[in-house]
Structure 1
Amino acid sequence: MKVSIEISMYPLKEDYRQPIREFIDTLEKQDTFTTIRNSMSTTLIGNYQAIMPVLNQAMESSLKDLPESVFVIKLSGGCL
């Protein structure tokens, strides 16, 4: 099933840019789905089964490094 996932990461620390860049870089290394950077969020487009394991691992890794982070995710079927 094809999906679009919009995700925003909010590291709750003064130097917030670097953790966001690292998170997005991890997602962009994948070639099984499309990653589109925006000013306030990142959009992932592709197969649900391909995106979710990568997204899960990337969020878990980020939360281990910086537990004081918030992720906001919007998931929709199809390609929006």
Structure 2
Amino acid sequence: MQLSVEISLYPLKDNYLEVIKWFIQRLDAYPGVQRLTNGMSTQLGGDYDTIMALLATEMKAAHAQWGKGVFVCKFIPGGVNLDHSE
């Protein structure tokens, strides 16, 4: 089963851009996961189990590395075309 996730990270730190860039860079380490980032969020697409495991690992790593931060996620089972634009 495919899954698409829109995720936004709001680090509770002054150097928030460093934290966000660090997180996005780590997402790119997962083969088979499609990533699209814009000024407001990052969208991920791929296998359901892969995406959920990735999020568990990387969200925990972000909290361990940087402390408090808020993640806001939207999940769409079945996935969507991340390349679509109008």
**Of the two, which has the highest radius of gyration?**
2
Give 2:65's aligned residue.
65
Partner residue in 2 for 1:24? 24
Structure 1 residue 50, shift from structure 2 partner:
1.2
- Runs of 4+ aligned structure 1 residues displaced above 4 Å come to none
Q: Distance in 1 between matches of 2:14 and 2:7?
A: 20
Quick one: distance in 2 between partners of 1:54 and 1:13?
A: 23
| Structure 2 residues not aligned, in runs of 5+ | 81-86
Q: Return the TM-score normalized by structure 2.
A: 0.87
Q: Secondary structure at the match of 2:15?
A: coil
Query: Which amino acid is 1:76 matched to?
Result: I
The size of the alignment, in residue pairs, is 80
Task: Extract unaligned runs of 5+ from structure 1.
Answer: none
Distance in 1, matches of 2:58 and 2:79, equals 22
Q: CA RMSD in A?
A: 1.0
